[in-house]
Every structure is written in structure tokens, then in C-alpha cells.
Amino acid sequence: MAITYVGADLVQELQQALPAALAGDEDAARRYARAWHQLVLQLVGSASRAPASAVEVLDRLSLTAPFDPLGPIHALMSVALTIIGDMDQRPAVRSSPVILPASIDFDGFTRAVLDELAGAGSAIRSLLSAWQLSIAEAARLFGVTRQAMQQWLAGDVPPARLPKVLAVVRIADLLSRNIRPERIGGIVRSPVPGYAGATMLQLIAQDRHQELLDSVARSFDWAATA
């Protein structure tokens, strides 16, 4: 039986985003959807006999999982166990029930989640636009060919590449929520303080994306710097 791995950081991201997502915050709904999709890929990737439809079925569960009385991860694992035959029943991390907001915008939540789950390709297309990247530049950023990047943009991102894509998308989210859009293209091409003159794009190309994500998150943590 395969060992089931559930990333604690993704569970935390999912739980933190959910209350605002259900209240109608589109950015929060998209963060929730991305964390959910990555968890689904981890579950499916840990199994050797997952059906071809497993990812799609578990992704759609994201719309109702917040209302499971034992928490969204319980909902995810319960359904996954019924459709993935060789999955360990003991996840590494559990979630708690979600504290629902007083007013729920379920229609807005559903639209944002389904749009985000249309594929990682849509997130990469948004990244190209926000950071003013060409396809060739994006390919260098992720260490792939231009042809591979074209496939990624069509939604065919290999599971092994998704952790880096997700980290870069999180960086882009932080920048877009804190910096005027017209400045972002220049900022990602400017030297990052404390990194010996390297730019954000260079750090990502060097596979230092997680280190950069942590640094960017700290820089916009107003509570910590107040």
C-alpha cells in the first residue's frame, strides 16, 4: 500500500484562505483552489493505481469539501479512498472544521475556484502578462524548451514541475496584491536586496524560488514589520 503524503504548508494555505474565499474574496478563492489542486496531485501521484479521472473528480470536490463537519481534508481523503485503490488511509496532516463566515458568496466562490482549476496553464499565462515575459523568457525561467512551455500554456504541466510553478504563482500573487501592475515587470528584473545583485527572474531560474518566496512573503508581512 502506498504512503499518502499531504503537505502541511498546503493544508495551512488552504485553511487560511477558505473563510475569505467563501465570503467572496476572489484572490482567496484562487489561493484555496491552487492549494487544493496541489494536494490532489500529491495524493494521486503517491498511488500506483489511480484512475485517469481521479484528478478531475477530486478537484471538483473542492466546491463542497469546506462544509464537511470534520474539515476539508477529511472530505478529500474520504473520497480519494473510494477511488484510489492502493492509498494509505492515514494522511500525514489533518485539517480542522472551517469557521464559516457570517455571509457566504457561494456563487462567487464557485466561479473563482472553477476558473482557477481550469489548469496551471492559465496561471502561467497570467504570469507572462503580469511580468511582461515572452515565451522564451518563461521557458528559461522554468528550465524547459519553448515547445514545452507552449504545452504548459495549454494546461499540460508535468506533476513534477508543479511545486515550482505553484511557488512562482504565489510570488506573483504577493506582488500583484502589493505593487501597482505597471511596476511589476521592472521589479522582477531589478536586483533583489541581499542576493548579490541577482534579480527575481535569475533566482527563479536558479531554482531558488522557495527562498525567494519566503523573502517576498516576509517583505509584505506588515504585522511583523509594524
* Tens-digit pLDDT profile for residues 166-177: 788 878 878 887
User: How far apart are the C-alpha atoms of 76 and 201, rounded to whole Å?
Assistant: 35
**50-59, 69-78, 116-125: which is most confident:** 69-78
The pLDDT value given to residue 8:
81
119 burial via Cβ count (<10 Å: 0-12, 13-18, 19+): middle
Residue 80 confidence (pLDDT): 86
Which residue's entry shows cell 476539508? 72
CA dist., res. 22 & res. 35, Å (int) = 15
Characterise 219 by phi-psi region: left (phi > 0), alpha (psi -120 to 50), beta (else): alpha
pLDDT of 48 higher than 60: yes
DSSP class per residue in 132-154 = T--HHHHHHHHT--HHHHHHHHT
- The string of pLDDT tens digits covering residues 182-222 is 899 999 999 998 899 999 999 999 999 999 999 998 888 75
Distances (CA, A) of 162 to 96, 139, 197: 26, 14, 27
Q: What is the pLDDT of residue 200?
A: 96
Say if CB 108 and CB 26 are below 8 A apart.
yes
CA angle 181, 185, 190 (to 5 degrees): 125
Mean pLDDT of the chain: 83
CA 70 to chain centre: 23
Count of other CB atoms within 10 angstroms of residue 84: 21
Please determine, for residue 52, whether its predicted confidence score (pLDDT) is greater than 90: no
User: What's residue 224's pLDDT?
Assistant: 46
Separation of CA 119 from chain center: 11
